[in-house]
Structure 1
């Protein structure tokens, strides 16, 4: 065989081999995109595992992550913003695909936002809402709209009062997003009812015991009121207990927010008149679904992924008791 023929044969073999390798590469690529696709890894930094409400949200996240076949790494900041930042930095070092964060203090989350941005890792915030300015810097916020809760709560109270009466408002921790906007929702409704007025306000920092003491002080002052609305159920239960001890519960309407299992039992008994259900199970599932979209590079039309509040009264309380019981399974 001449040199020319040998060269032609060699070129032909190279072409055939190259074609074969290209085909193999395409096959492997297809397998990688379908059969052997790398699992999405979500780094979830949570504020406090021991928080009852948050535990339902976290359990929902775990359940949906398993259903969606994504890897979920979850850590507990123990209500320490500095600790959470260190945990987020560890997730970044590990190369997670997306960060999912519920901040102990939403006003102190800027360093977490900056760290995610510097690492070019999408960040989804859940439940604890920071300022609008900060939300604009992240992929999305998943949660429930606080002003809607305060509005629903007060509208139901106004309806039960016949649109008139003296109202006392118990605030959560002053400056919290939920405290500000739940109260704003309350007052927006009161402003539309000329025969209703706010006669007392005070903070109980989301705590049942503090709300009980605050209400006892109001009772001892001789103040007359027809309703006490609290920024959350724990404080509503504290107010309810103080009124009951003073023999005044039958004369005062008490309403809360969150629809916690404890509160639902008192709504069923008629001692607590209403609440607005904040759904941690739905927040958890939507948080994972949104994180998956972020990891896949999908564009959202709206950075806010809202989970609506729902009004609870004695008429529909069994539906919500069933929701909590179902969440525990």
Structure 2
């Protein structure tokens, strides 16, 4: 059963029969997302429903919609601490503003496992996500390779100050530094938003007319917004290379149609892996974790859930694997 609540709770995944590894009452986990408007965080949140411990009723997960606001997330932490949740999975909107809530939860004896986006705190129990510096490098290389190493590009960034924006920018910049033939015409945030990116790209196409050769977008929602603006302007996507990050459903379809490139960030592995680690830190995990994260990525060592960081690998979406990736999304 899933219910959406404004501000604090977004979904409650019900409890029933406990297995021998768990107490009679379900383990209560809060999952604090930065926001549920985009598909990627919806995939991340929905994946928690499919975790074996949640499906069995041994774990009850409540998903919080942070509404892209650090203050909202802080208030949600206050609520979770007051309600004495057993652990928190945290996807912060701001890498610095998240530090205070993590300190408060830790002081209350509630372990916080970061996932997807990082928090600049040494008090996180662990982090389960992906290397965003590498993602920035990969998305920049996709565009630069497509335009032959020379040309003019625009860069569309995520919310300023979120770790994914900071790290992907670092990766993009490292690649740009190796290609003096690439000129960056514009660089601004569209806050992970398709609509904001569409408006931004419309303005850039007007300002720069036929100068833009490529679009480096820090996520797929913004890449698709740019594509919509390009198509509406009458320009051909054969003339402008577009690449994004995440592998959301619309991006996979756009790859099929030859409109863009993307790299898949595994939302399910990040979410379920983070829950596995949280259970391990609570002493509720058996010798082997319950989710498929660790068999899907056999080179990712479990180490009893005690590592500081678990980086889920990226998958480049190609014509060879896009159909199977879409089929998995429809299951």
**TM-score between both structures, scaled by the size of structure 2:** 0.78
**Aligned residue pairs, count:** 286
Residue 154 of structure 2 corresponds to residue 168 of structure 1: yes
Q: What does residue 88 of structure 1 align with?
A: 80
What is aligned with 1:117?
106
The one of 225, 240, 243 equivalent to 2:212 is: 225
Q: Deviations over 1:261-305 (max 9, x none)?
A: 01111111112x201111111111101111111111987563111
Aligned mates of 1:68, 1:290 — CA distance in 2: 18
How far the C-alpha of 1:75 sits from its partner, in A, is: 3.9
1:282 maps to which residue?
Answer: 269
State the secondary structure of the residue aligned to 2:208: coil
The 1:202–1:246 alpha-carbon spacing in structure 2 relative to 1, beyond 3 Å, is same
* Cα distance in 2 for residues equivalent to 1:194 and 1:278: 29
Note if 1:263 corresponds to 2:235. no
In the alignment, the residues of structure 1 paired with residue 65 and residue 265 of structure 2 have an alpha-carbon distance, to the nearest angstrom, of 23
* Counterpart among 319, 323, 327 of residue 324 in structure 2: 319
Q: Summarize the Cα distance change of 1:289–1:301 in structure 2 as closer, same or farther, 3 Å threshold.
A: closer
Asked if structure 1 preserves the Cα contact closer than 8 Å seen for 2:74 and 2:101, the reply is no
What residue number does 1:70 align with? Answer: 58
Distance 2:63 2:272 in 1: 18
Q: Does 1:189 align with 2:207?
A: no
CA distance in 2, matches of 1:277, 1:105: 23
Per the TM alignment, residue 252 of structure 1 is displaced from its structure 2 partner at its CA by 0.6
Q: Secondary structure at the match of 2:316?
A: strand
Q: Structure 1 residues 119-128 or 96-105, which shifts more?
A: 96-105
Unaligned runs of 5+ in 1: 1-33
Tell me what 1:292 maps to.
Answer: 279
Residue equivalent to 2:200: 214
CA contact (8 A) 1:61 1:287 kept: no
Any gaps of 5 or more consecutive residues in structure 2? 1-18, 285-302
1:144–1:308 Cα contact (<8 Å) kept:
yes
Instruction: Give the match's secondary structure for 1:256.
Output: strand
Q: Please, which of 222, 225, 233 is the counterpart of residue 238 of structure 1?
A: 225
User: Alignment partner for residue 159 of structure 1, among 127, 137, 145?
Assistant: 145
Distance 1:196 1:315 in 2: 29
Mapped contact 2:157–2:191 kept (Cα < 8 A): yes
2:159, 2:37 → 1: CA distance? 19
Deviation at 1:227, TM superposition (A): 0.7
Encode CA deviations 1:196-249: one digit per residue, 9 max, x unaligned: 232221222222222122222222223512111111111111111111122222
Instruction: State the distance in 2 between where 1:51 and 1:218 align.
Output: 24
Contact in 2 for aligned 1:179/1:231 (Cα 8 Å): yes
Say yes or no: does 1:203 pair with 2:195: no
3-state SS of paired residue (1:108)? coil
Change (3 A) 1:166 1:49: closer
Looking at structure 2, the residues matched to 77 and 240 of structure 1 have their Cα atoms a distance apart, in angstroms, of: 28
